[in-house]
A and B are shown apart, each in its own frame.
Chain A
Amino acid sequence: MPSSQVLPAFNMVQALNSALKEEMARNPDVVVMGEDVGRDGGVFRVTEGLYDAFGPQRVIDTPLSESGIVGMAIGMAAHGLVPVVEIQFMGFIYPAFDQLVTNAARIRARSRGRFSCPIVVRTPYGAGVKAIELHSESTEALFSHIPGLKVVVPSTPYTAKGLLVSAIRDPDPVIFLEPTRLYRMIKEELPAEEYAIPLGKARNAKEGNAVTIISWGSMLHRALKAAEPYDADVLDLLTLSPYDEGAVLASVKKTGRVVIVQEAPKSCGFASEISACIAEKAILHLRAPVMRVAAFDVVLPFARLEEYYMPGIKNIREAIEETLRY
């Protein structure tokens, strides 16, 4: 951590909260909006305290209206504000998909640069919290497929804060996916001074030479655990769109063996994009086929079966072994 002075340990919720608080203090045009984000502080408490600190004009409790909220944010951005929207769960972003795809992603292109859409849409994402239906979605690939949107997935409190700061300052729309399972799982100290982590840059979470493991979000932690006994190079992508192709290719060229771990169903997931890119640009460096460890292509099961659905450490190790044996 690039800092001498540190703050007491933060979990991801608190780290996100401090990013919002600090950016709101720095820039009076930053507003936070969404369902229950004001008085209630958000259902996961990410916006806790902001309502008291900045008032109802800047911390806006909205009606239950995802398409409307994102649509309004687009209009606010066109009028000089920097809205940070909270969608309560990723499963409820779909009503706003229309606004994101047909408008947010295209305003810059449609107006040939006259207007832009500097909004952030934050949402809790991913399974593993024993929630009811539609509270465990990981459909990052849908958004990563859309030109004009950026997609960011932090994996730790430190990355959450630094990436959210950059997302808020970014001139384009950013979908900011917060792995629900990690909200309170990890605590770490954060730098006392301002910092930002640039979008589009991967992080090396473990250095090694025998095999490259690529992951993001909550699966990164399973990948790291699975990788412990191996001489593995573990990349935490952090940004999916645009992702750090340079870091991926450099690692692949070093190891020649690749395992990509994603929580989402296997087919047409983000791992497929990385795999295709490696095939195009580094195939002669490969010593084994690229492996994807992912969920099954099924409707995400409810709480009692979700562990069977998500890739486990055993599945990841099997893929690593297979790659190494090849």
Chain B
Amino acid sequence: MPETVLDTFEIKRLDILDARGNADPALMPPLGGAEIKKMYEYLAIARTFDDRALSMQREGRIGTYASIRGQEASQVGSALAFDKKDLIFPSYRESGVFIARDYPLHMLFQFWSGDERGMKVPGDINIFPICISVSTHLPHAAGAAAAAVYKKEKTAVAAYFGDGATSKGDFHEGMNLAGVFNAPAVFICQNNQYAISMPRSRQTAAKTIAQKAVAYGFKGIQVDGNDVFAVYRATKEAVENAKAGGGPTLIECYTYRLSDHTTADDASRYRSREEVEYWLARDPIARLRLYMEKQGLSGGKYEEEVREKAESLVDDGIKKMEETGPAEPQDMFTYTYQGPTARLSAQIRSFSPGAV
């Protein structure tokens, strides 16, 4: 008997805005001038925040920091496609996502300065605390999305992670669960080409990350992650599809980490200058700026105003963080359980800092 073809698949790639600032009108998402400006402003804040965080780390004012330079469009473009009540599960390299959700900047600095109060997420912002253990938050997204279905809420849930994260069992389990339960989850992989020193080619033998969705029974798409319109459009479609009962989507944002993995890393050990330069020429913010110039969205003092506003917001964040100072040492006892156990109460009473 002849073999039959049971299934075939194709994986699409979406590009809208090129590096010279030209957008494909047929694919442009329906965004007004004010919305595009808002996007640009978030991108500017994200870039400014990132630059300042890197220099603060060098000055010893915060600890190790994971830069998002080059990934701003993947983060801001996708985050803006969610509604306020949609819950986001981030990893550690998501400053742009937090910023696009109006997370208080001083709290982000607090987090990176080694102060857990920075992750006491304000009640009106739906984002989970930063997940350091790679990929372990993907099943959480599947669970939150399943809960939204149970509660008959029209909300979508997002998980953000890197290309390295796709090698973990939790990636498989989270995606598989979301597929089985047809959960309104959007999995956003920022393929920034590296997991510390390991290139994307050493994470999977598959041609794309997007195609991994096929095996879990839902849609995967690759987008130009340095193209804020493509990222926004793909995410918006995924969110709408999820809310309409269409199940999960995996979005692979094809981008590049322009900085070292973290401030503790030295990327020159494992990648070439030419490679970095290739990507510098594809900067996600520069191309939106070009687009806006061409569209007459950024005349006069606009550029300068955006920069000044971003700088003053970030400066205020730093000032507020530094003025706050460290938490009281007793703070470490407070959140182990809802209230202190008898054992903890005794330890709190005996607490006396053990000078070194």
Q: Which residues does chain B contribute within 8 Å of A135, judged by CB atoms?
A: 132
Give Cα A310 to B195, complex, Å: 32
A36's contact among B115, B116, B196, B351, by CB below 8 Å, is which? B196
| Cβ–Cβ contact B134 & A64, under 8 A | yes
A34-48 residues with Cβ-Cβ distance < 8 A to B are 35-36, 38-41, 43
The reply to whether the CB of A195 lies closer than 8 angstroms to some CB of chain B is no
- Would you list 7 pairs from A and B whose C-beta atoms are within 8 A, ordered by A residue? A43-B196, A63-B204, A65-B169, A66-B168, A133-B130, A303-B115, A309-B332
| Cβ–Cβ contact A301 & B198, under 8 A | no
Give Cα A144 to B113, complex, Å: 33
Q: Which residues does chain B contribute within 8 Å of A91, judged by CB atoms?
A: 132-133
Q: Which residues does chain B contribute within 8 Å of A231, judged by CB atoms?
A: none
The reply to whether the CB of B281 lies closer than 8 angstroms to some CB of chain A is no
A303's contact among B114, B335, B354, by CB below 8 Å, is which? B114
The reply to whether the CB of B347 lies closer than 8 angstroms to some CB of chain A is yes
| Cβ–Cβ contact B356 & A222, under 8 A | yes
Q: Which residues does chain A contribute within 8 Å of B326, judged by CB atoms?
A: 304-305
Contact with B along A135-151 (1 / 0, CB 8 A): 10000000000000000
A62-83 residues with Cβ-Cβ distance < 8 A to B are 63-68
Are A65 and B133 also in contact (CB < 8 A) when A302-B116, A307-B353 are? no
Q: Which residues does chain A contribute within 8 Å of B64, judged by CB atoms?
A: 131-132
| Cβ–Cβ contact B167 & A65, under 8 A | yes
9 nearest A-B pairs in the assembled complex, by CB-CB distance: A312-B354, A303-B114, A315-B354, A40-B197, A63-B167, A64-B164, A308-B329, A302-B114, A301-B332
Query: Smallest Cβ distance from A48 to chain B, in angstroms?
Result: 10
**Most-contacted residue by chain B among A61, A131, A134, A296 (CB, 10 A):** A296
The reply to whether the CB of A298 lies closer than 8 angstroms to some CB of chain B is yes
* Known A41-B269, A63-B202; 9 more pairs at CB < 8 Å: A61-B202, A91-B132, A95-B168, A95-B169, A301-B116, A304-B115, A312-B353, A314-B353, A316-B354
The reply to whether the CB of A299 lies closer than 8 angstroms to some CB of chain B is yes
**Which B residues are closer than 8 A to A by beta carbons?**
63-64, 92, 113-116, 130, 132-136, 164-165, 167-170, 195-198, 202-204, 264-265, 269-270, 326-327, 329, 331-333, 335-336, 343-344, 347, 351-356
Query: Smallest Cβ distance from B149 to chain A, in angstroms?
Result: 28
| Cβ–Cβ contact B356 & A312, under 8 A | yes
| Cβ–Cβ contact A305 & B347, under 8 A | no
**Which A residues are closer than 8 A to B by beta carbons?**
35-36, 38-41, 43, 61, 63-68, 91-92, 94-95, 130-135, 222, 266-267, 296-299, 301-316
Query: Smallest Cβ distance from A320 to chain B, in angstroms?
Result: 13
Q: Which residues does chain B contribute within 8 Å of A61, judged by CB atoms?
A: 197-198, 202
A132's contact among B63, B170, B198, B331, by CB below 8 Å, is which? B63
Q: Which residues does chain B contribute within 8 Å of A130, judged by CB atoms?
A: 63, 114
| Cβ–Cβ contact A304 & B132, under 8 A | no
Task: Closest B residue to A308 by CB, please name it.
Answer: B329
| Cβ–Cβ contact A131 & B353, under 8 A | no
| Cβ–Cβ contact B327 & A305, under 8 A | yes
Are A40 and B269 also in contact (CB < 8 A) when A134-B132, A304-B327 are? yes
Q: Which residues does chain A contribute within 8 Å of B333, judged by CB atoms?
A: 296, 298
Query: Smallest Cβ distance from B220 to chain A, in angstroms?
Result: 19
Task: Closest B residue to A91 by CB, please name it.
Answer: B133
Give Cα A310 to B261, complex, Å: 29
| Cβ–Cβ contact A307 & B356, under 8 A | yes
Q: Which residues does chain A contribute within 8 Å of B329, judged by CB atoms?
A: 305, 308
Give Cα A61 to B200, complex, Å: 12
B353's contact among A133, A301, A302, A308, by CB below 8 Å, is which? A308
Query: Smallest Cβ distance from A262 to chain B, in angstroms?
Result: 13
Query: Smallest Cβ distance from B297 to chain A, in angstroms?
Result: 39
| Cβ–Cβ contact A39 & B169, under 8 A | no
Give Cα A180 to B20, complex, Å: 47
Give Cα A307 to B332, complex, Å: 11
Q: Which residues does chain A contribute within 8 Å of B164, judged by CB atoms?
A: 63-64
Query: Smallest Cβ distance from A307 to chain B, in angstroms?
Result: 7
Give Cα A164 to B344, complex, Å: 38
| Cβ–Cβ contact B114 & A132, under 8 A | yes
Query: Smallest Cβ distance from A115 to chain B, in angstroms?
Result: 24
Q: Which residues does chain A contribute within 8 Å of B198, judged by CB atoms?
A: 35-36, 61, 63-64
Query: Smallest Cβ distance from B260 to chain A, in angstroms?
Result: 11
| Cβ–Cβ contact A68 & B132, under 8 A | no
Query: Smallest Cβ distance from B355 to chain A, in angstroms?
Result: 5
Q: Which residues does chain A contribute within 8 Å of B130, judged by CB atoms?
A: 133
Query: Smallest Cβ distance from B332 to chain A, in angstroms?
Result: 4
Give Cα A64 to B133, complex, Å: 11
Give Cα A314 to B355, complex, Å: 6
Give Cα A65 to B169, complex, Å: 7
| Cβ–Cβ contact B168 & A64, under 8 A | yes
Give Cα A92 to B136, complex, Å: 10
Are A65 and B270 also in contact (CB < 8 A) when A312-B356, A313-B355 are? no
Q: Which residues does chain A contribute within 8 Å of B114, judged by CB atoms?
A: 130, 132, 302-304, 306
B331's contact among A67, A131, A305, by CB below 8 Å, is which? A305
Q: Which residues does chain B contribute within 8 Å of A305, judged by CB atoms?
A: 326-327, 329, 331-332
Give Cα A95 to B139, complex, Å: 14
Query: Smallest Cβ distance from B233 to chain A, in angstroms?
Result: 29
Are A132 and B92 also in contact (CB < 8 A) when A61-B202, A298-B332, A304-B114 are? yes
